[in-house]
Structure 1
Amino acid sequence: MRSTQKAERKSRALNDYYSASQLRSDRWSALKNVALQLHAAADRPHAALVEKAEELIGLLHGVEDYWAFPGRRGLEQLTHLLERRDFEEFAHIVAYLVRTLASGTYRKPSLESISESVAEQDICHSEEDVKERIRDRPYFEVLIVDQLTDSQQEQQRQALRSKRRDDDEYIYDLVCVPSFEDALIAVLFNYNIQSVVIRYDFAFHSENSAPIMQRYLHRASAQDFASLDPIEYGPELCKVIRSLRPELDVFLVTDQSVEQIAGRDLGGCARVFYNQEDYTELHLNILRGVNRRYQTPFFNALKEYSKKPTGVFHAMPISRGKSVLRSHWIQDMGDFYGMNIFLAETSATSGGLDSLLEPVGPIKKAQELAARAFGARQTYFATNGTSTCNKIVVQAIVRPGDIVFVDRDCHKSHHYGMVLAGANVQYLDSYPLHEYSMYGAVPLREIKHQLLKYKAAGKFDRVRMLLLTNCTFDGIVYNVERVMEECLAIKPDLVFLWDEAWFAFARFGPTYRYRTAMDTANRLRQRYKSETYRQQYQEFRQRTEGASDEELLNTQLMPDPDKVRVRAYATQSTHKTLTSLRQGSMIHVNDQDFNGEIIQAFHEAYMTHTSTSPNYQIIASLDVGRRQVELEGYELMQKQLEAAMTMRKAIDSHPLLRKYFKVLSVKDLIPEQFRQSGIESYWDPERGWNEIWDAWAVDEFALDASRVTLLVGGAGVDGDTFKNVELMNKHGIQINKTSRNTVLFMTNIGTTRSSVAYLIEVLVKIAQEIDERLEDGSDIERWQFSKKVESLLHRCPPLPDFSRFHPCFCAGDGTDTAEGDIRKAYFKAYKENNCEFFPLLDDSIDKAMVEGRELVSTSFIIPYPPGFPILVPGQVISSEIIQFMRALDVKEIHGYRSELGLRVFKEEALRH
């Protein structure tokens, strides 16, 4: 009975951990505490403490098997010390290991660590390794998949170590696992792994049955490969690892003949070795693979340029810092920034470096490396933000009069892009979340409905592009594959523009990557080439022959492989979620018709919107940011998600915070009909962490776990006030997205556990202040508080749907379609005598509408928050929109002048 209860407690405790990395960190901390107690007990240690230490080491064995440091060898050393009852040395080494793991200094130990690492050399690395790493050689780990004894593992380690040379740029250690499943756990768990060597003699199943490790196998869908013939383990493992972490270099050592292995799909395997690998060649290939990702061609060129003596006779006085250093009044600028930024400043037209507009040297190479990293066919850098990227793509793809389906609450740059391109716009409404004053995303059924409607209207040849935001500001993520497949089944040449401004990091997590534009485009292009898909399509075609539009809406559609063209574009704000200077962005292209149809127009659009004086520092930061994510993006993203999940759990499980705040869950932000998996939250107090990977695989919409939307209406404060007064002014916490009753906390690859701890501390302090204020307040004050809470939580103004375009600006041609010419309306409003104002604060606008007048907006009206346009040029103003605007308690409404009112077209302007 007691053992059963103990097992249940252990199971619940394990389920409290979102990731094995968190479990690993806590187990080592717990072992340190026990070790210190053992040391303090001197010659009379409590037997229970020894038993606890042995138990923790046993638990860590199932974790450290996948790491080189301290790894299995380190645990064996600790076990020997425990058996000898050398508690002083045991405590000393455990403390050293915990400190080193927490700080990451085992990757690059400092000079000071040499003296204290003498006793730890057998655990972490040899004295030779210590000295080599001090030479600032980046450290990584290599995974060997093979059934090897301990002595054979050590032989492999020594064989590769003997191939090191003084001029090697990197240093690595080995992790050995004996099975297919262990290899999958290792690459998903150990972010230090940069290369994988797969040999031919290994088992399939792992002996590690720990539930938290089994989660990794579930994520990798390992059960799909259990029926493989053992001879297929190596080639299949190559493909699976490359699909999970495509940035890794994978090497296959096989005993199959050349004839058997030649021409096989090995998923991008870097090299195949036959029978027995050549250790020199393997060592060189491992280093070459890492170096291939480490290269930053433009950043390197810029550094070299900054070292060259030059004479500056062009239009940049700040170049080489001359105008700063010679100044009597602005030398503090030089002190603040340092000299390198000025030494690296030059003009694109002065020579010596590449041109962003016509790259032929290091910028061109940097863009090619970025395309590889992000899975694109072509990648272009931008130095003035994703707003410009969006306009470039729209102008390159859309011709005047083309019909574009646009997510109405997308970023304003898309709406302005439609004006510039002369598109006829069909706006798509996202599902509303009235109680939080925000929108979700556009249901696939709505998109299919509009496509079928335009097909029936005979306008299919003009339908050009579908433009959606993925993920939305609030973290709603589309099932990109499902959207593209079903839309292409209706219109095989439809172009997709996915605004991934807030989603650049997604490429570097296996679960997230599946819902990105570039990864989806690559998978679809491969799928439509296969004979298996062609057979499936024929069966689908027979099933749906003669189906009505309503039946097609309720059917998962498949495109014709002989007609389909995969055409996808993604714009990403690198500076928002990865490492880049402000306004550093990228355009990724995966368009089968790009080189034949689009490339000339794209280059013209790129020239139109790109400065002839781009900031070289931004370009260099994009180059370096790409290097970072190829080498440590997986690690940084995992830590980012762990921070967000920790934040969720801390708020949801805190009794005081639950009184006034609530973390909005999947159930709150995604309606049930779009959650086929049935998942309701990532974590709850009863069951701990839920399995989210199934939801990301099948649900129409998923929720980005790195974003935490906090409902603050229960604190009696609107989102904008909470952001500016409570968080920023009082505590220095910065956020940039609120709604009427929520604030959004976005973790990123720079978020630390200390930042999360500080946020929780601040929220607790705010909650305590509310408690004290209510406790000391009068009945009237408590009544006022409850009325404010009631207003914020239960009386939010309903979000208005898109009304319609006025016939003067409707390009529907009398058919059952409602696309609008916002360009015509936009420029018609340039004539001031076409426009007049209606105040919102009196009843004049209501009287006009009651009398039957159609009031038509002349401009974009964008309340911030929530930040989406509720009116666009040419749109008829509805009473619901007026009510929503009057109910808003925000300070900013872009396009609206409070002293004058709403700007609308005069009636006579709408007659011609």
Structure 2
Amino acid sequence: MHGISDSEKLPTISDYYSASQLRADRWSALRETAESLDRDGDEKHRVRALQLMQALAPIEMYFAFPGGSAFDYLRRLLEHGNFTDFSTAVRRVARALTSGAYRRRSIPLIADETEGDEFEDESTQTHEARALGRPYFEVMIVDNVNEQQEKFLQTSLQRMRRSEDPFIYETVVVPSVEDALIGVLFNQNVQAVIVRPGLGLKSKNETNVLGRYMSLYGEGADLEELTPSEYGPETCRRIGMLRPELDAYLITDRSAEDIAVLDLGLCRRVFYNQEDFLELHLNILRGVQRRYKTPFFTALKEYSKQPTGVFHAMPISRGKSISRSHWIQDMGAFYGSNIFMAETSATSGGLDSLLEPRGPIKEAQEAAARAFGSKQTFFATNGTSTCNKIVVQALVKPGDIVLVDRDCHKSHHYGMVLAGASVVYMDSYPLHEYSMYGAVPIREIKHKLLALRAEGKLDRVRMVLLTNCTFDGIVYNVQRVMQECLAIKKDLVFLWDEAWFAYARFAPNSRVRTAMRSANILREEFRTPEHAEAYNAQQAILEGADDDVWLNTRLIAPPNARVRVYATQSTHKTLTSLRQGSMIHVNDQRFKGAVEEAFHEAYMTHTSTSPNYQIIASLDVGRRQVELEGFEFVQRQVESAMAIRRAVSTHPLLKKYFKLVTAGDMIPEEYRESGMKSYFDPDQGWADVWDSWSRDEFVLDATRITLHVGATGWDGDTFKTKILMDKYGIQINKTSRNTVLFMTNIGTTRSSVAYLIEVLVEIAKELDDLMDDASRMEKLAFDKRVKNLVENVPPLPDFSRFHDAFRCEKGTEAGNIRRAFFLSYDEDNCDYVEPDKGMLDRLEAGEELVSATFVIPYPPGFPILVPGQVISPEILRFMQALDVSEIHGFRADLGLRIFTEDALKSVKNP
């Protein structure tokens, strides 16, 4: 083998965001090099091919395809100078990896064997064709064996295959605990891990990726203190941390009594040192089948095949009203027949009721609870807006105090109206430069709780309601927030709006910041004697301390605190589901005794008696997908976002007109203990983000890219509508005055990323050309527009206060939105005022004008006024500076709707 000089060295995993990107690029480079070598036989190409093979070797040991023997065959071809066969074999492997063909059939590497469909890409097949095939996965065997023993293990399992098996799998053998953990992170095809007694401890691969991940879970990557008898159980436990969806099987010679007391993570079965390969094979298939099973989707498919006579509601059921029509055949042609065959309002025939599930819907919801780590999960077919109202109505009684993120989704504000809650709004930190808010600091939350404690009202505080993550991608340290809040009031209920964060469960770094995982961790932690000891020690310090000490101390919750956590997720926004498919996840230690009946009533209140079965089925299938390939898809999603970041950060023309808004820009330094500023720096490369995700108060969701477009002269809304959507067909949701937000998802492709980058480059080139030909006056006008967007940005207003008429009690800041909301129903109680200089003069002179409605400008999309709120001069100035065309709650022909003086005087406070 030729050595590798410094000048020839290839990029390492540190130069890539993920191992899958690195692997794909190396195979692509090897394919090009092999073709050049076959063409001209140049020595430099042979050296380059050797170099690439060396670089691929430590990665390929974790994959069943092409596998160790095939990789050795490629190496021998190259070393023996058989360049033509080498090029053919490499090309076939590279194409199979790109197209996914290895999942469907054997890929011949020998040159004289014909490879059919070698250009076929799996994604180009019809859904029907792909559905007929058997899904493919890989099984990782962890055992330190020689080549002959490895072959024995692999062939022994292969002999157990049967034609009736629902799935097909291949095996890969790795030697050590560390290799197993690296393997499940690198190899997205792994669905099961078999841990055998002969495994070693350390990997021979030099990579620090393992240490990064384990630090997220409070675990050291150093395993030196383990004894050999602990290697197997510890491997199972740590695999359960990194990829909890996987099945692990432990083969051991230890006694059942010893094994029974150990934490084996998600180990599904223990085998006692016996080579029963058939039993192992059947368990592997059964474990995957458990996740593959879709109870409701399967029931709906079976129902659609049954002959029925329809004598109930819905003429469209079975497609009869369409097939018999002379005028709407195009609808049937567009949607196809199955959607109508599966349409019904009946709950019989093998189906189930969403309102009283006892059959397949109940099973589907239980499977979703398993997948997302909750204790109970409920499906919703009318969006997360309704989920939010269900949770609030089930838990909040009139007069209960709720601490609410003022910038949360409007459904929460309306939920407060419906529940009759006493609302205390919490302010997020502002990002004036970008016309957006961040998130609510833990200090602000604690300050509100401590103030209510000082007022003697802590007993009335029911819930803390926060958005995780925010639309712009700010993610809370969920576990810390709940820990510290429970230290002040031990029975608080938490509602985390995770509408945009459903995907997070299926990536090791983002999982640690989800509501359900944090709830499960706290439940375990509160039971430990170490926690009780730490709590008692802190209480001794805090005894008699004032609020400033409490604010400046990282608080520990009492051991008898109750974990009461709810999360609402828009499955349709970030995972696979039809529109409005959402879920409510529950992890409440008092749910069974104190909440279940009220929750059921709230669920009945807001859920249709005729829910859309197609949405329910899509939630069931979407759950199957994330349990089997969520890890892979989310990794690709993040890779797409990182590719956009790198392109914008390094392209000289893009940097001229676009600025990537980084974590350092969106999260103030005091909330970034790790000091991490950006995921990618052109000079330093990829940042080590794992420390940030484990320690910082806030982190930035990697799947969202906020782009500052002020230097283009277009405001965010114009850039979104007139440029991206109308001209280039690129769709986005969120803008601010000078930014646009690009959100990747599990359906984002590399082609989509490439197209976006091409479009941004084209826009930049057109702006360059425009400026080259512009007159002096045109350049001055352009510079003025840019200055208005970059420098003259109106400051964001804080929440002012509720008018005294709508205070819940004298001396408290909590407000009764419900009272104000319904007072405005009588038009005699309301008036309109133009938001002009005259109104500003009145406010600055001390006159109190009170909003009678929600006022929500788009963008930024949060209420700047709620019913009963005093309009401040700062709020009015912000409204006057906005140049958006859509403001909900504001009538351009009349102005702002406010309460009359007589209406305010008529309100009688309790």
TM-based fold match above 0.5: yes
Checking the alignment, whether the CA contact within 8 Å between 1:348 and 1:614 is kept in structure 2 is no
Q: Deviations over 1:203-262 (max 9, x none)?
A: 221110146677566667552533222221111111111111110001111121222212
Q: Which residue of the partner structure matches residue 757 of structure 1?
A: 754
Checking the alignment, whether the CA contact within 8 Å between 1:141 and 1:173 is kept in structure 2 is yes
1:332 to 330, 333, 347: 330
Aligned CA RMSD, in angstroms, stands at 2.1
The verdict on how the C-alpha distance between 1:490 and 1:797 changes in structure 2, with shifts beyond 3 A counting, is: same
> How far apart in 1 are the matches of 2:110 and 2:611?
49
Q: Which residue of the partner structure matches residue 94 of structure 1?
A: 90
Q: Which amino acid aligns with 1:583?
A: Q
Kindly report which structure 2 residues correspond to 1:422-433, keeping only aligned pairs within 5 A, or say none.
Answer: 422-433=420-431
Q: Which amino acid aligns with 2:497?
A: D
For the pair 1:838 / 2:842, whether they are aligned, the reply is: no
Q: Which residue of the partner structure matches residue 609 of structure 2?
A: 612
- 1:480 positional shift: 0.2
The verdict on how the C-alpha distance between 1:711 and 1:133 changes in structure 2, with shifts beyond 3 A counting, is: closer
Q: Which residue of the partner structure matches residue 55 of structure 2?
A: 59
For the pair 1:638 / 2:635, whether they are aligned, the reply is: yes
Q: Which amino acid aligns with 1:898?
A: A
1:647 to 638, 641, 644: 644
- Structure 2 residues without counterparts, runs of 5 or longer: 119-128
Comparing 430-439 and 158-167, the one that deviates more:
158-167
- 1:83 positional shift: 2.2
> How far apart in 2 are the matches of 1:902 and 1:801?
19
1:106 to 102, 109, 115: 102
- 1:546 positional shift: 2.4
Q: Deviations over 1:785-811 (max 9, x none)?
A: 111111101111000000000000011
> How far apart in 2 are the matches of 1:305 and 1:229?
55
Q: Which residue of the partner structure matches residue 314 of structure 1?
A: 312
The verdict on how the C-alpha distance between 1:133 and 1:168 changes in structure 2, with shifts beyond 3 A counting, is: farther
For the pair 1:587 / 2:581, whether they are aligned, the reply is: no
The verdict on how the C-alpha distance between 1:501 and 1:751 changes in structure 2, with shifts beyond 3 A counting, is: same
1:155 to 152, 157, 162: 152
> How far apart in 1 are the matches of 2:631 and 2:215?
18
Checking the alignment, whether the CA contact within 8 Å between 2:167 and 2:285 is kept in structure 1 is yes
TM-score (norm 1): 0.95
For the pair 1:395 / 2:393, whether they are aligned, the reply is: yes
Checking the alignment, whether the CA contact within 8 Å between 2:212 and 2:691 is kept in structure 1 is no
For the pair 1:908 / 2:902, whether they are aligned, the reply is: yes
SS of 2:141's equivalent in the other structure is strand
> How far apart in 2 are the matches of 1:701 and 1:441?
8
Q: Which amino acid aligns with 2:224?
A: A
The verdict on how the C-alpha distance between 1:385 and 1:113 changes in structure 2, with shifts beyond 3 A counting, is: farther
Q: Which residue of the partner structure matches residue 469 of structure 1?
A: 467
> How far apart in 2 are the matches of 1:428 and 1:216?
33
Checking the alignment, whether the CA contact within 8 Å between 1:463 and 1:494 is kept in structure 2 is yes
Checking the alignment, whether the CA contact within 8 Å between 1:314 and 1:350 is kept in structure 2 is no
Q: Deviations over 1:294-314 (max 9, x none)?
A: 000000000000000100111
Kindly report which structure 2 residues correspond to 1:518-533, keeping only aligned pairs within 5 A, or say none.
Answer: 518-533=516-531
The verdict on how the C-alpha distance between 1:222 and 1:85 changes in structure 2, with shifts beyond 3 A counting, is: farther
The verdict on how the C-alpha distance between 1:862 and 1:599 changes in structure 2, with shifts beyond 3 A counting, is: same
Q: Which amino acid aligns with 2:44?
A: A
Checking the alignment, whether the CA contact within 8 Å between 2:85 and 2:110 is kept in structure 1 is no
For the pair 1:182 / 2:179, whether they are aligned, the reply is: yes
Q: Which amino acid aligns with 2:104?
A: K
- 1:277 positional shift: 3.8
> How far apart in 2 are the matches of 1:388 and 1:368?
21
SS of 1:379's equivalent in the other structure is strand
2:863 to 855, 861, 869: 869
Q: Which residue of the partner structure matches residue 125 of structure 2?
A: none
Checking the alignment, whether the CA contact within 8 Å between 1:396 and 1:604 is kept in structure 2 is yes
- 1:73 positional shift: 2.2
For the pair 1:857 / 2:851, whether they are aligned, the reply is: yes
The verdict on how the C-alpha distance between 1:11 and 1:407 changes in structure 2, with shifts beyond 3 A counting, is: farther
Checking the alignment, whether the CA contact within 8 Å between 2:578 and 2:618 is kept in structure 1 is yes
The verdict on how the C-alpha distance between 1:254 and 1:534 changes in structure 2, with shifts beyond 3 A counting, is: same
> How far apart in 2 are the matches of 1:567 and 1:98?
50
Q: Which amino acid aligns with 1:891?
A: S
Checking the alignment, whether the CA contact within 8 Å between 1:185 and 1:216 is kept in structure 2 is no
Q: Which amino acid aligns with 1:838?
A: V
> How far apart in 2 are the matches of 1:851 and 1:216?
58
| Count of residues paired in the alignment | 893
Checking the alignment, whether the CA contact within 8 Å between 2:820 and 2:868 is kept in structure 1 is yes
Q: Which residue of the partner structure matches residue 26 of structure 2?
A: 27
> How far apart in 2 are the matches of 1:13 and 1:294?
36
- 1:479 positional shift: 0.1
The verdict on how the C-alpha distance between 1:96 and 1:269 changes in structure 2, with shifts beyond 3 A counting, is: same
Q: Which residue of the partner structure matches residue 290 of structure 2?
A: 292
Q: Which residue of the partner structure matches residue 798 of structure 2?
A: 801
Q: Which residue of the partner structure matches residue 140 of structure 1?
A: 137
Q: Which residue of the partner structure matches residue 883 of structure 1?
A: 877
SS of 1:656's equivalent in the other structure is helix
Q: Deviations over 1:852-881 (max 9, x none)?
A: 320000010000011000000000000000
Q: Which residue of the partner structure matches residue 370 of structure 1?
A: 368
Q: Which residue of the partner structure matches residue 129 of structure 1?
A: none
> How far apart in 2 are the matches of 1:32 and 1:11?
15
Identity of aligned residues (%): 62
> How far apart in 1 are the matches of 2:280 and 2:746?
32
Q: Which residue of the partner structure matches residue 452 of structure 1?
A: 450
For the pair 1:743 / 2:740, whether they are aligned, the reply is: yes
Checking the alignment, whether the CA contact within 8 Å between 2:188 and 2:632 is kept in structure 1 is yes
Checking the alignment, whether the CA contact within 8 Å between 1:471 and 1:502 is kept in structure 2 is yes
Q: Which residue of the partner structure matches residue 121 of structure 2?
A: none
Q: Which amino acid aligns with 2:134?
A: R
- Structure 1 residues without counterparts, runs of 5 or longer: 124-131
Q: Which amino acid aligns with 1:34?
A: T
The verdict on how the C-alpha distance between 1:413 and 1:206 changes in structure 2, with shifts beyond 3 A counting, is: same
Checking the alignment, whether the CA contact within 8 Å between 1:374 and 1:518 is kept in structure 2 is yes
Comparing 435-444 and 850-859, the one that deviates more:
850-859
> How far apart in 2 are the matches of 1:612 and 1:723?
38
- 1:849 positional shift: 2.1
TM-score (norm 2): 0.96
> How far apart in 1 are the matches of 2:543 and 2:840?
51
Q: Which amino acid aligns with 1:845?
A: M
- 1:671 positional shift: 0.3
Q: Which amino acid aligns with 1:77?
A: Y
2:625 to 601, 605, 628: 628
Checking the alignment, whether the CA contact within 8 Å between 1:184 and 1:217 is kept in structure 2 is no
> How far apart in 2 are the matches of 1:397 and 1:146?
51
The verdict on how the C-alpha distance between 1:195 and 1:553 changes in structure 2, with shifts beyond 3 A counting, is: same
For the pair 1:118 / 2:85, whether they are aligned, the reply is: no
For the pair 1:168 / 2:165, whether they are aligned, the reply is: yes
> How far apart in 2 are the matches of 1:320 and 1:192?
38
For the pair 1:501 / 2:499, whether they are aligned, the reply is: yes
The verdict on how the C-alpha distance between 1:473 and 1:214 changes in structure 2, with shifts beyond 3 A counting, is: same
Q: Which residue of the partner structure matches residue 440 of structure 2?
A: 442
> How far apart in 2 are the matches of 1:537 and 1:3?
58
- 1:544 positional shift: 2.6
- 1:348 positional shift: 3.6
- 1:72 positional shift: 2.2
The verdict on how the C-alpha distance between 1:690 and 1:10 changes in structure 2, with shifts beyond 3 A counting, is: farther
Checking the alignment, whether the CA contact within 8 Å between 2:85 and 2:111 is kept in structure 1 is no
1:268 to 266, 269, 274: 266
Q: Which residue of the partner structure matches residue 122 of structure 2?
A: none
Q: Which amino acid aligns with 1:877?
A: I
Q: Which residue of the partner structure matches residue 822 of structure 1?
A: 817
Q: Which residue of the partner structure matches residue 128 of structure 1?
A: none
Checking the alignment, whether the CA contact within 8 Å between 2:181 and 2:210 is kept in structure 1 is no
Q: Deviations over 1:181-218 (max 9, x none)?
A: 11110011111000011112222211101466775666
1:48 to 44, 47, 50: 44
Q: Which amino acid aligns with 1:97?
A: V
